[in-house]
Amino acid sequence: MTEDADTKAAWVAADWGTSHLRLWPMAADNRPLCRIDSDRGMGTLERQGFEAALIPLLEPYLSPDRVLDVLCCGMAGSRQGWIEAPYAETPCPPPSFAQATRAPCGDSRLAVHILPGVKQMEPADVMRGEETQIAGALALKPQLDGVICLPGTHTKWVSVQAGEIQRFATFLTGELFQLLSKHSVLRHSLAPKGWDRATFEASCLDVIERPHAFANMLFSLRAEGLLKDLDPVIARSRASGYVLGMEIEAMRAQWQDRSVVIVGEDEIAGAYAAALGTQGVVAQVMDAEAVTLAGLCAARKQM
């Protein structure tokens, strides 16, 4: 690859979340030239700081004689972000470029377009960023009729049909697990990493059977640590099974007898796949980054 090819980006794909910023300068044929990672997430920035955070990262791709388009999804479009990109409302296809909001930018060498998130009024729910992954999954599997699970701090289950987002539900599961393992009394009992599949699966089944006892099952990890020297990796696997088992059972009507796609990184996607496996469901796992890029490319086609 010549230096020329390296620095001539046709456009830039961007995923600007709460805690991270990812940029992919793209060739004209929608091939990423590289990936730029930054920790300047929305949560670290004041409104006037977004442009200043972005420009140094893109400097090699900027030129005074043309305007570089940046197409961005994620929390940068929230009320606390660069500029609010109003939500589309379900049922709807994943938002396209036509619905993007132009971010105010002093530097005339670039034009930043932020894609809207999606809201659902009843029951109330919101997403920002995941709608672009849905667009990507649908670009890669246009006939998909089923549910897409997007695991994360706030895991989303999105029902799709005929290219549209029908409805979705968000679970605080990932954040709950982080709080329990880092800030609760269980921090003494849970290993920081490690995962035992058989224990995890048994714990999924256990919590599906006795969901109300959730907070008791959690405390039992502490008590077994004190009285029975419970192995911390086993404790972590159980805690993880309890939170995920609850969630997949709650979504039963969405995944039963339907296609299930999980969009996520290996470890977390694998845990959700294993949890669904306890219920006889074989889910297809799609790579989160590939799907995000496919979604931004799909939106770009309508530019």
For its own copies, the binding residues (CB under 8 A) are 119, 121, 123-126, 154, 169-173, 175-176, 179-180, 183-186, 208, 210-216, 218-220, 223-224, 226-228, 243, 246-247, 249-250
Which residue, 231 or 287, has its beta carbon nearer to its own copies? 231
Q: Whole-angstrom Cα distance, residue 298 to residue 303?
A: 9
Which residue, 66 or 228, has its beta carbon nearer to its own copies? 228
Kindly state the smallest distance separating residue 244's Cβ from its own copies, in Å.
10
Which residue, 97 or 214, has its beta carbon nearer to its own copies? 214
Amino acid at 201: E
Which residue, 9 or 262, has its beta carbon nearer to its own copies? 262
Kindly state the smallest distance separating residue 19's Cβ from its own copies, in Å.
12
Kindly state the smallest distance separating residue 54's Cβ from its own copies, in Å.
25
Backbone angles phi, psi at 88, to 5 degrees: -80, 165
Which residue, 66 or 212, has its beta carbon nearer to its own copies? 212
Which residue from 140, 143, 150 is spatially nearest to 117, judged by alpha carbons?
Answer: 150
- CB contact set of 294 (below 8 Å; sequence gap of 6+): 135, 136, 137, 139, 140
Kindly state the smallest distance separating residue 292's Cβ from its own copies, in Å.
22
Kindly state the smallest distance separating residue 42's Cβ from its own copies, in Å.
13
Rounding to the nearest 10 degrees, give the CA dihedral for residues 122, 262, 295, 119.
10
